[in-house]
Chains A and B, each alone.
Chain A
Amino acid sequence: MTLRTIRFMIKEGAVNTYKNKLMSLASICIVSASLVIFGIFFLISLNISANMKIFGEQPEVVVFCEPDMDEAQASLVGEKISDLDEVSSVRMVTRKEYFETVKEMFEGNTGLLENLDETFLPVKFNLMLGDYEKCDDIEESLKNIDGVWDVQYPKKVVEFIRSISYWLRFLSILLIIVLLLIATFIMENTIKLTVHAREKEISIMQYIGATDGYIRWPFIVEGVIIGFAGAIIAYAFVAYGYTIIADSFNNDILQIGIEFIRLIDIRDISFLLVLLFIMMGTLVGAMGSWMSIRKYLKV
């Protein structure tokens, strides 16, 4: 295929897209509608997983030292804990500090603690993990350290987060697959209509000796143009809508005093989003054309 032929086919595809305005417009709408739906789900899952990380850092693992251990011995245990790869930070809670928090817990009811001082409490460590997924693994390693009496962490919370993020990941992959299939299917059928309307044209081309590639490529160019246009329109809608929603959401949520949940700024993801849309749009367009023209090129 010469460069001239490639140029000719691109021009043919572009001119055909223009000359079949109505059909092209219908296809563009369908592609952009599918992409908008996809974009909404994509942004939701992106935001949930971004906020999940913040949420994921919350659960603390608490390590208690043997109760008879003094604080010097305990700090040795603390060093061993911070040597573990999974641990991102360790904070030693002295008996005194610990006692203060316990007192706070029993506030107004100090009678219970009347005859007690901090010595009945063990030294404890609060640790943060880089990845809350590792809670189970690290529990074992912590328990194996000499002088560690008990390890506690909010199992339920961790399991909840874990199952949510698992399902979320699973769902978003499933969603992407389903939406891609739907978009291709819709595209295939829309293009099938245009191809059907142009069946005669295709057969004329075959009579005068056009090769399959010569007939197919302009259609694929057409599909790509339609997919591209659909992607740009979908992006405009999604980006605009998201900006409005994210701005007011972030505002409102700050006002009620929640700081750690924030919707992602559109500027951080616009490149990813536009790239994804264009890739999906053009791919779906090209695939739709390819599949719908296949039948007519058999004979």
Chain B
Amino acid sequence: MVEFSGVTKKYDNGTLALSDVSFTINDGEFVFIVGPSGSGKSTIIKLMLREEVATSGKVCVDDQDLMSMEKEKIPYFRRRLGVVFQDFRLLPKKTVYENVAFAMEITEALPKEIRRRVPMALGLVGLSRKAPVYPNQLSGGEQQRVSLARAIVNDPVLLLADEPTGNLDPEISWEIMQLLESINNRGTTVVVATHDKNIVDRMQKRVIEINKGKIIRDQQKGLYSNDTKND
């Protein structure tokens, strides 16, 4: 599903965010990317989203070479992905229902399909009752569930989440993780960048740890950190 080989990313201002990063994520996997602030987690997500382009190396997602992808193809590539962010990124002037439906409308889906799939996605995240409500009337956890519903409504092959629980308290965070796991169980590959130690330790999934732009650990059923004394 995802292949990074020898990826280096240097931002325009000279910051070296990633250097020589290589890993492969198979279809259906659930992977955490962990590391301290500034280590390059978000950069990896951005490269997978084709928001940024690697300076050198090879980035492939969903069998597509992102290094050589033409600009016009990017939207169509992204429609096969789902994205979730720490700050939810919902459209403030659209209702919960409209926010989720919008992700389908842009793909020019049939209205019939939209009417069928949006309630399904909202049901899956447990927000059916909140369909006519605007995002600012929801709690953080609920907003994140709306953004999850939007991410999955097009049945993505890959779900990318950058600090999805960064703004939520532990209990709500855990609910979101459960949802991500159930999405993963339905066959979607899930990649979560986080520095939430609790959930990583509890989930027992594959962990890729990076520090200063380099992979220092890649472990199946890993914990947040191997270093038990120091957090």
Decide: A4 near B150, CB < 8 A? Known: A207-B83, A211-B75. Answer: no
- Complex CA distance for A16 and B93, rounded to whole angstroms: 9
Question: Which residues 108-127 in B have Cβ within 8 Å of A in the complex?
Answer: 108, 111
Decide: A208 near B83, CB < 8 A? Known: A8-B105, A214-B106. Answer: yes
How far, in Å, is A179 (CB) from chain B's closest CB?
Answer: 34
Q: Is A201 an interface residue (CB 8 A)?
A: yes
Contact B111–A209 (Cβ < 8 Å): no
Contact B108–A4 (Cβ < 8 Å): yes
Q: How many residues of B contact A (CB 8 A)?
A: 23
- Complex CA distance for A205 and B108, rounded to whole angstroms: 14
Contact A204–B93 (Cβ < 8 Å): no
The closest CB in chain A to the CB of B88 belongs to: A204
Decide: A209 near B89, CB < 8 A? Known: A4-B108, A5-B108. Answer: no
Question: Which residues 167-217 in A have Cβ within 8 Å of B in the complex?
Answer: 200-201, 203-212, 214
Q: Is B79 an interface residue (CB 8 A)?
A: yes
Encode B89-112 as 1/0 by CB contact (under 8 A) with A: 111110000000011011110010
A-B contact count (CB 8 A): 49
The closest CB in chain B to the CB of A201 belongs to: B91
Q: Is A144 an interface residue (CB 8 A)?
A: no
The closest CB in chain A to the CB of B82 belongs to: A208
Contact B103–A208 (Cβ < 8 Å): yes
Cβ–Cβ < 8 Å partners of B93 in chain A: 16, 19
The closest CB in chain B to the CB of A16 belongs to: B93
Cβ–Cβ < 8 Å partners of A5 in chain B: 108
Question: Which residues 94-142 in A have Cβ within 8 Å of B in the complex?
Answer: none
Q: Is A255 an interface residue (CB 8 A)?
A: no
The closest CB in chain A to the CB of B109 belongs to: A4
How far, in Å, is B93 (CB) from chain A's closest CB?
Answer: 5
Cβ–Cβ < 8 Å partners of A201 in chain B: 91-92
Decide: A206 near B108, CB < 8 A? Known: A19-B93, A200-B89, A201-B91. Answer: no
The closest CB in chain A to the CB of B160 belongs to: A207
Contacting residue for A208 out of B72, B106, B111, CB 8 A? B106
Q: Which of A5, A206, A208, A212 has the most CB of B within 10 A?
A: A208
Contact A209–B106 (Cβ < 8 Å): yes
How far, in Å, is A298 (CB) from chain B's closest CB?
Answer: 9
Contact A204–B91 (Cβ < 8 Å): yes
How far, in Å, is B46 (CB) from chain A's closest CB?
Answer: 11
- Complex CA distance for A204 and B78, rounded to whole angstroms: 12
Contact A209–B91 (Cβ < 8 Å): no
Cβ–Cβ < 8 Å partners of B51 in chain A: 207, 299
Cβ–Cβ < 8 Å partners of B60 in chain A: none
Cβ–Cβ < 8 Å partners of B72 in chain A: 211
Contact B76–A209 (Cβ < 8 Å): yes
Contact A209–B79 (Cβ < 8 Å): yes
The closest CB in chain A to the CB of B87 belongs to: A200
How far, in Å, is A171 (CB) from chain B's closest CB?
Answer: 45
Contact A207–B108 (Cβ < 8 Å): no
Question: Which residues 1-34 in A have Cβ within 8 Å of B in the complex?
Answer: 2, 4-5, 8, 16, 19
Decide: A209 near B108, CB < 8 A? Known: A19-B93, A200-B89, A204-B91. Answer: no
The closest CB in chain A to the CB of B104 belongs to: A208
Contact B106–A205 (Cβ < 8 Å): yes
The closest CB in chain B to the CB of A1 belongs to: B108
- Complex CA distance for A16 and B98, rounded to whole angstroms: 13
Contact A206–B75 (Cβ < 8 Å): yes
How far, in Å, is B227 (CB) from chain A's closest CB?
Answer: 35
Cβ–Cβ < 8 Å partners of A204 in chain B: 89-91
Contact B102–A208 (Cβ < 8 Å): yes
How far, in Å, is B100 (CB) from chain A's closest CB?
Answer: 10
Q: Is B49 an interface residue (CB 8 A)?
A: yes
Contact B108–A2 (Cβ < 8 Å): yes
Decide: A208 near B150, CB < 8 A? Known: A2-B108, A5-B108, A201-B91. Answer: yes
How far, in Å, is A213 (CB) from chain B's closest CB?
Answer: 9
How far, in Å, is B195 (CB) from chain A's closest CB?
Answer: 22
Given contacts A204-B91, A209-B107, 8 further A-B contacts (CB under 8 A): A2-B108, A8-B105, A205-B106, A207-B83, A208-B103, A208-B150, A211-B75, A214-B75
Give chain A's interface residues, CB within 8 Å of chain B.
2, 4-5, 8, 16, 19, 200-201, 203-212, 214, 299
Q: List 5 A-B contacts (CB under 8 A).
A: A204-B90, A207-B51, A207-B83, A208-B83, A208-B102
